[in-house]
Structure 1
Amino acid sequence: MPELPSLVIVGAGGLGRGVAALVEALNSPSPSWNLTGFVDDDASLRDQSVMGYPVHGGVEWLSQRENLFFSIAIGDGDARQQIAGQLSQSLIQPACLLHPSTSPHRTSEIKSGTIARKGVATAVDCRIGPHTVVNMNCTIGHDSTLEAFVTLHPGVHISGSVHLGTGVTVGSGSVVLPNTRIGSQATIGAGAVVTEDLPPDCTAVGRPAHPQ
């Protein structure tokens, strides 16, 4: 039997533990990954155990390793971007982790570093950029693009032909209607309904959503 690729999760908080559960689902019944543990810059977690997996150290520890895969399980897109940059020159690779319940169509493209949790549904011709986090029970419509470091919180519904710029965050239970563009680094509040294009770097709330 070939040796399983080794994986380290960056971040031992709630999302990190959820990603560990995702990996356990991927490993049942046929193992796919050797989950060796977590790294976290919280010094109080050093040499501790989370879900039975060790916390090896901080991100610096990971940057000195070789022949590993990593997954940045941190909900903040800016933090993921910073860590991805820190690890970009190291001899390790980002993993793409899709829960077994997620079955992207062959016409879709999902880049490395993406996390898609339980209950995610994608339509045809989707494009999902690197280090994007798609949380539980989200849907992504046909011909939609999510650029790098996008975060969809649980229960978000992205309609067809939507474009989310780099680092966009969409709050839980929000809906983005078809043919809508949201600029980079924008934040959409929980429960919002986005009916028209939104500019970069804004925070939009309401039904319909308007920049504050």
Structure 2
Amino acid sequence: MKKVIIVGAGGHAAELNDYIYHDNTYKNSTNKLEVVGFIDDDKVNYNNYSFSAPFLGDIFSHEVKEDVFYLMGIANLKFRKKIVFDLIQKGAQFTSFIHPDAFISPSSRIGIGAVIAPNVNLGPNTDIGMFTMVNSRCSIGHDSKVGDFNFLSPNVCFSGNTEVGKENLFGINSATIPGIKVGNGNKIMAGMVLDRNVGENEVVFFRFKEKLIAISK
């Protein structure tokens, strides 16, 4: 089995740990990962969960091991990219993870370090960039392109031909209509439906004007 150290020891790392545990119960799994430890700058995070492997110390002083791979388990976009690059400079090898319960089109492409969670749907000709997290129950429509270091919360839905840049955060239940383009560094808040393009470093949050129609019986 491929030995793995998870970077981070908070809630997101706990979810990855569970994904790997369940993956290893599948007879036809192709991942075959063994979590050998967790690194985090705050050991309190580790103490909050029942992890399968020991705490190995903080990230900053961690001595990279040549015989293991690393998996990014920190959700905060402010830290993910810097930590990944720092560890790669030290010689770390990162791996991707695709849960066996995900539906992955044979024509899709998935970058190194990406995580594809359970019940994800990746349609034909989809492209998922490096170190992008595609959370549980996300659906990425045909011919959609998602760049590096994005974080897609659960239930995010991209319609066909969506193009997403780098380092964007999509809140839970957010979605796009077909053909939308999103730049870099944006925060799309929970429940937002993008019906127009988004530029750079924007926060998308608005309230819908609803019309309530009461029908008397």
TM-score scaled by structure 1?
0.90
1:24 and 2:30 are equivalent in the alignment: no
Identity among equivalent pairs (%): 27
Code of the aligned partner of 1:107: S
Q: Once superposed, which parts of structure 1, at least 4 consecutive aligned residues long, lie more than 6 Å away?
A: 46-49
Distance 1:15 1:46 in 2: 11
Residues 71-111 of structure 1: CA deviation (Å, up to 9, x unaligned): 11111223110111111223331111111111311211101
TM-score scaled by structure 2?
0.88
Unaligned 5+ segments in structure 1 are none
Sort the Cα spacing of 1:110 and 1:122 in 2 relative to 1 into closer, same or farther, 3 A. same
> Which residue in the other structure is 1:71 paired with?
71
Code of the aligned partner of 2:18: A
> Which residue in the other structure is 1:114 paired with?
114
Distance 2:190 2:46 in 1: 34
Query: Following superposition of structure 1 onto structure 2, how do residues 48-127 of structure 1 map, counting pairs within 5 Å?
Result: 50-127=50-127
The number of residue pairs the alignment matches comes to 205
Sort the Cα spacing of 1:63 and 1:144 in 2 relative to 1 into closer, same or farther, 3 A. farther
Distance 1:46 1:198 in 2: 37
> Which residue in the other structure is 1:158 paired with?
158
Q: Is the 8 A contact 1:17 1:51 kept in 2?
A: yes
Q: Is the 8 A contact 2:9 2:46 kept in 1?
A: no
Q: In structure 2, the residue corresponding to 1:82 is in which secondary structure?
A: helix
> Which residue in the other structure is 2:215 paired with?
none
> Which residue in the other structure is 1:179 paired with?
179
**CA deviation after TM superposition for structure 1 residue 47, in Å:** 9.2
1:5 and 2:23 are equivalent in the alignment: no
**CA deviation after TM superposition for structure 1 residue 48, in Å:** 9.5
Of Structure 1 and Structure 2, which has the larger fraction of its residues in strand?
A: 1
Q: Is the 8 A contact 2:14 2:49 kept in 1?
A: no
| Greater mean deviation of Cα atoms: 63-72 or 113-122 | 63-72
* Greater Cα radius of gyration, structure 1 or 2: 2
